[in-house]
A = this chain, B = another copy of it.
Amino acid sequence: MTSSAGRTLHLNAFLMSTGHHEASWRLPESDPFANTDVAHYQRLAQIAERGHLDSIFFADSPVLWNDIGRRPSGAIEPTVLLTAIAAATSRIGLIATASTTFNDPYNLARRFASVDLVSGGRAGWNVVTTAGPDAARNFGLDDQPAHHTRYERAAEFLDVAQKLWDSWDDDAATGDKASGRWGDNDRVRAIDHVGTHFRVRGPLNLPRSPQGHPLIVQAGSSEDGKAFASRYAEAVFTAHQTLEDARTFYADLKARTGALGRDPEGVKILPGIVPVIGATEAEALRLEAELDELIRPEYAVAQLARTLRLRPQDLPLDRELPADLPAEDEIEGAKSRYTLIVELARRERLTVRQLIGRLGGGRGHRTFAGTPEQVADALDEWFVGGAADGFNIMPAVLPSGLEAFVDRVVPILVRRGLFRAEYTGSTLREHYGLPRPANRYAYDEQAQGVTA
């Protein structure tokens, strides 16, 4: 697949406290409490908006990750955080992560519709199923539900949410003061969903939101994850270390999407990249090395051991990974990330110390240190090479890495005709070039693919 005339990049800024590098909070310029500072995130969103990026995004899980010794811990609940950011911005899309395993569809569908409404049509939902026993133990379970069960529930959750978002016709309410009839009851209906995981009557207690449905984003790359993405996702965040892997994933997901009767253009694939930007390549490499030196190896080894289901003492710093590791299908949760890490270590014959450095930057995502031109080239190569519709930008240090990307890389992309110079739309869907979904229930929409 090659670049067609006028095809342009989509860019998402993945925001995380002081940056994606494990040790970024230890830099002199970093605020170690930025992770719970709403003003910090409002400023980051404004920087991304200045560069006309499509969206910002927050990861999330309903559990306290790791120990708090290691790095800034705790996060403002993402729909609350997005709402606060919506008030400080006007155009940029706002994507929050929420779990289908540990929420109820009625409440969550309403919350995303509320954010969509409050932001004027800028909400997106990164759908996750939340791996790991620790989150499950905050919700009355001893362990996570099985991988396949989580995805089965996720699919039904999405069905319920979409029905609820369609439970009001767009024109259900007329607000007719003269007659005293505010709306038309025939244009709001119960959804009467009865399934394996949920029974939900509806309708939603909120009119249809500006985008109809918030944008659906997904990031799982396991078999179940790809099946889910091809059915529901409109943007996919993914992690690849090599062009070849990214191209394979891209072609596979587009083919799966087409096979389900969806337009493959209706799902935008955005590999992650951790750009470390310097005025010269040497400066970029120096910044990267500085950051890696700030990693406390005992914390990083503990984290790596957990991911690989080993004990920390199985991972001496100056040796390669042990030869006998479990196969992906023995792993519950974050399957594809597991494989990616093991393959990276094997392919480049990295010691544990070297592997930690690579992961400290991007946790499995591609790290790229270079000049603005080199970073632009790296994006261009994957975009034109059939590996990406755009990128999930994961600055190693925030705000400085985002500023460098917006002020020094984006202008190059604009000059090359690869990225917008101004916003042309006002909703998140418009930024991604995706249509507003027709209402599945509306009985008077003309020729828009209405299903019933």
Contacts and interface: CB of A to CB of B under 8 A. Distances in A.
Interface of A: 23, 25-28, 30, 32-33, 36, 38, 61-65, 67-77, 79-81, 83-84, 86-88, 102-104, 106-107, 110-111, 114-115, 117-118, 134, 137-141, 168, 172-173, 175-177, 180-185, 188, 198-207, 294, 296
A34 to B, nearest CB: 10
A63 B107 CA distance: 10
Given A63-B205, A139-B106, A80 B173 contact: no
How many copies of this chain does one complex carry? 2
Contacts of A80: 79-80, 83, 111, 114-115, 118
A185 B38 contact: no
21 contacts: A25-B177, A27-B177, A32-B175, A32-B176, A68-B183, A68-B184, A70-B182, A72-B175, A72-B182, A76-B114, A80-B114, A81-B114, A83-B83, A84-B84, A84-B118, A104-B139, A134-B201, A137-B199, A138-B202, A139-B200, A140-B200
A175 B62 contact: no
Contacts of A84: 83-84, 86-87, 118
A138 B200 contact: yes
A76 B177 contact: no
A140 B156 CA distance: 13
A200 B296 CA distance: 31
Interface centre among A68, A87, A181, A188 (most CB of B within 10 A): A68
Given A80-B114, A88-B87, A294-B180, A172 B68 contact: yes
Contacts of A69: 181-185
Contacts of A138: 106, 200-202
